[in-house]
Amino acid sequence: MSNNYIKQLANILEMLHNLDSDLNLVGFNETEKKIYYTIASNIHFVEKCNISDVIESSGFSRSTVYKAIKNFEDHNMVKLIQSNHDRREINLELAIT
């Protein structure tokens, strides 16, 4: 591998670490980070996100997704909003501070 490739890779890894720091994700495991990024992506591209969307998009089990979302909620990073259209559906919003 060339020195240039290694330098670029190191820069990318530093950017990812900075992104995790900026989003307060440093203390979360890789699964939780993927779930958080899935929520953000769904909100950005589909303009909404519910728990079923996260399960489907991420490929993680229902219990894993629920645990991660609960953890995000406990850290005031995600808000759970009951749908106006379907009382059984819970929509997710990122709690931007």
Asked, for residue 86, whether it belongs to a domain, the answer is: yes
Q: What are phi and psi of 53, to 5 degrees?
A: -60, -40
**pLDDT (0 to 100) of residue 97:** 59
Domain range for 54 is 28-94
On whether residue 58 sits in a domain, the answer given is yes
- Is 84 within a domain? yes
Cα separation of 32 and 44, whole Å? Answer: 18
Determine contact, residues 57/45, Cβ cutoff 8 Å.
no
Tell me if 10 is assigned to some domain.
no
Q: What's the distance, Cα to Cα, between the start and end of the chain in Å?
A: 41
Which pLDDT score is estimated for 11? 95
CATH code of 34's domain: 1.10.10.10
* pLDDT number for residue 38: 96
> Could you give the number of structural domains in the chain?
1
Task: Give average pLDDT by consecutive 10-residue segment, the chain, 97 residues.
Answer: 90 92 92 96 93 95 97 95 86 86
